[in-house]
Structure 1
Amino acid sequence: MDADEGLVALGFTEVEARVYCELLKGAVPATGYRLAQALGKAPPSIYQALASLEHKGAVLVEEGEPRSFRAVPPEEVLTALQRGFEQRKRSAADALRKLHAPAQDDRIYHLKSAAQVMERARTMVSGAKELVLFDLFPPPLTSLAPVLTEASARDVAVAGIVYAEPPRVPFTCVRSQDADFVRERWPGAQLTLVVDAREFLVALLTPDGTGVKQAIWSDSVYLSCLQHSGLSAEIRLHAPQAARTRMGRAFSLIGASPPGLRQLVGTPSSSKRGDTE
């Protein structure tokens, strides 16, 4: 991506981007007429772009006859753009929250892009209350390790299966006993995530983790409880023998009694089974 394309991606028009970059190249201020000649554009379009750049805080204007223009340093422009974006983001978020009425509907939804899959995964983990289970190939594990670490720091129990040497993280990673075989034969990078036995995400990404072959998400507590039960059993199966009893109490569906199970069977949220398996 060149400088012009970078600015267009940040909201500049093509003409604005070219005018700003042209000003950056010059050691002295330039008039609109000189810029029009340098860029091969009609003067009216250049003056319109300069007015917009002035409004964006990207140029300084020397009053006189004719007026001349100087580019504001890129760091200052980018900082102002970032600050403006954050302000607009907060305003949009406030407006959208007033419209959004979250409701559990027990349906299964298909996700079509890797960005959507990973953002859904991060949102799920960020909202976890008690327990997160996962099955992650290296690419999604690398992406999700920071948010999993944050969840662990909030005293959310986090555990899962990995397919390489377990990383140094503050949550439980169990290396699959079949890691080499699975990584060689499985048709992509696996991502399985179950949060509080209330929602789950299952995705088969491309091997490098940048594309999606198939992905589904659901907040069905029944299906989430089934996913939790199966995944917790897999985690215990691949764990060292000495750790399996402890993991059963900490992570199994009945032993942990996560929020989704309590919702499914009608147990009050303040009541947990404790360490009964």
Structure 2
Amino acid sequence: MTTNNETPERLLAELGFTDTESRLYCELARGGPATGYRLARAIGKAPANVYQALESLSHKGAVQVDETEAKAWRAAPAAELVAALKAGYERRSGAALAALSAIRPPEPDARLYNLKTPEQVLARARAMIAAAREVVLFDLFPQPLEALKPDLERAAAAGIIVAGLTYAPTSASFRTTQGAAAEQVAQRWPGQQVTVVADAREHLVALLSPDGGRVIQGVSSDSPYLACLQHSGLSAELRLNARGGDDPWSDLSLLTLRPSGLTTLIGDPE
């Protein structure tokens, strides 16, 4: 079921359909097969524009045409349309990824970049985790933790140190600790916290809305200096919250570890 702001025409527009294409497909879906002339009258568009849009819809797999004397068009079933769009998107995405991956990335510029959407936050976090080679530290509320858990599991399985602060009991192959005041923090904090530090080389800090649907504030940076500060502070908090033993998580400290970000910042040890 769609809301007033989520009409079928608008949703098709979000999938890359023009206004005329969206209206034509929905007119055919509601009214059944029709000629281009009747469709032009139904949506109030010039016949030339309607025939051009129908040809475009045909290439997208959205309509089918009866090539008899009275040329008629009909809408492809919704499930077939969406399947065709997904297949086309995946094909184009694969080609784009291959081409874009061949572009040599620029050197790190140590700037702060704003993150505007939850999808952008999670994509940046996943990329950081996938690129990590030594250690990933995190501070994650339950919803983002659940979203990033498979990525953290893969990193841990690859032998990377993965450890973080959580706010609810969780089962994971990587190291987690829940603070004594975790429930109170989760209740009072103004949203879903997302903090990830990879190799003390890059970091991400974001606050999502309580429902996780928007970004209240979010930044990421490949500054080794800022990442080392984030790593140091987060490792200290993890060590304070960890249970048992005499500092059982001391191996997370920059005094023990020498991740690539720290080496970039201060150079190789003598």
Q: Give your verdict on TM over 0.5.
A: yes
Q: Which of residues 40, 47, 64 is equivalent to 1:43?
A: 47
Q: Which of residues 35, 38, 42 is equivalent to 1:34?
A: 38
Give the C-alpha shift of residue 146 in structure 1. Answer: 2.6
Are residues 1:198 and 2:198 paired?
no
- The two structures have a TM-score, normalised by structure 1, of 0.83
- State the distance in 2 between where 1:190 and 1:56 align: 41
Give the C-alpha shift of residue 232 in structure 1. Answer: 1.1
Identity of aligned residues (%): 51
Give the AA of the match of 1:203.
A
How does 1:120-159 map onto structure 2 within 5 Å? 120-159=124-163
Give the AA of the match of 2:11.
G
How does 1:190-229 map onto structure 2 within 5 Å? 190-229=193-232
- State the distance in 2 between where 1:50 and 1:58 align: 9
Give the AA of the match of 1:233.
A
Q: Residue 254 of structure 1 aligns with which residue? A: 255
Q: Give per-residue Cα distances to partners, 1:164-184, cap 9 Å, x unaligned.
A: 2x2222222211112133224
With 171-180 and 113-122 compared, the bigger mean Cα shift is at 113-122
How does 1:52-63 map onto structure 2 within 5 Å? 52-63=56-67
- State the distance in 2 between where 1:171 and 1:180 align: 21
- State the distance in 2 between where 1:69 and 1:206 align: 45
Are residues 1:180 and 2:183 paired?
yes
- State the distance in 1 between where 2:194 and 2:27 align: 46
Q: Give per-residue Cα distances to partners, 1:101-125, cap 9 Å, x unaligned.
A: 2312233333344333222112111
Name stretches of at least 5 consecutive residues in structure 1 with no aligned partner.
269-277
Which structure 1 residue ranges, 4+ long, deviate > 6 Å from structure 2?
none
How does 1:95-106 map onto structure 2 within 5 Å? 95-106=99-110
Give the C-alpha shift of residue 21 in structure 1. Answer: 2.4
Give the AA of the match of 1:19.
L
Cα distance change, pair 52–215 in 1 and its aligned pair in 2 (3 A): closer
Q: Which of residues 22, 25, 34 is equivalent to 2:27?
A: 22
Q: Residue 85 of structure 1 aligns with which residue? A: 89
Cα distance change, pair 100–161 in 1 and its aligned pair in 2 (3 A): same
- State the distance in 1 between where 2:117 and 2:12 align: 25
Q: Which of residues 210, 234, 252 is equivalent to 2:237?
A: 234
Cα distance change, pair 128–60 in 1 and its aligned pair in 2 (3 A): same
- State the distance in 1 between where 2:184 and 2:29 align: 55
Are residues 1:111 and 2:115 paired?
yes
Helix, strand or coil for the counterpart of 1:242? coil
Cα distance change, pair 96–141 in 1 and its aligned pair in 2 (3 A): same
- State the distance in 1 between where 2:65 and 2:53 align: 13
Name stretches of at least 5 consecutive residues in structure 2 with no aligned partner.
1-5
Give the C-alpha shift of residue 147 in structure 1. Answer: 1.9
